[in-house]
Amino acid sequence: MVSVGKGAIVATGNTSALRGKAGFSGFAPTKAAQRILAEAMARDLGPQGVHVAYLVIDAVIDLEWTRKRWPERPDDFFIKPSAIANEIWHVVHQERSAWSFNVELRPFGENW
């Protein structure tokens, strides 16, 4: 990507990348480290034409096993995989004059 002066790297994580919560002390630092690594990459690779972004997925992804775990939840509790993919496509195809780094996705029904 650097040799051709264009490309994109998108890392995905979750809310633990931004804040720690009780019961997640072994997990949150790993997601925070992932985000910081992506930020360092963005600062290094961005000037070379490679767009690096970090997507925080603050949601339960709509999958068969998540639907079974939360059967009482309404549809707007879940985030659709296609919606995640659409946002990643959008970020990857942003105009160079307005690259995003930190993008947060959450469903309509999320209480944040």
* 40-99 residue pLDDT tens: 999 999 999 999 999 999 999 999 999 999 999 999 899 999 999 999 999 999 999 999
Q: What is the pLDDT of residue 21?
A: 81
Q: In 3D, which of 81, 36, 39 has the Cα closest to residue 62? A: 81
CA separation for the pair 26, 67 (Å, rounded)? 26
CB 17 within 8 A of CB 34: yes
Q: What is the pLDDT of residue 11?
A: 97
Q: What is the pLDDT of residue 15?
A: 85
Segment 5-32 mean pLDDT? 89
Domain 7-105, classified CATH 3.20.20.80, yes or no: no
- pTM (2 decimals)? 0.87
Does 112 score more than 90 pLDDT?
A: no
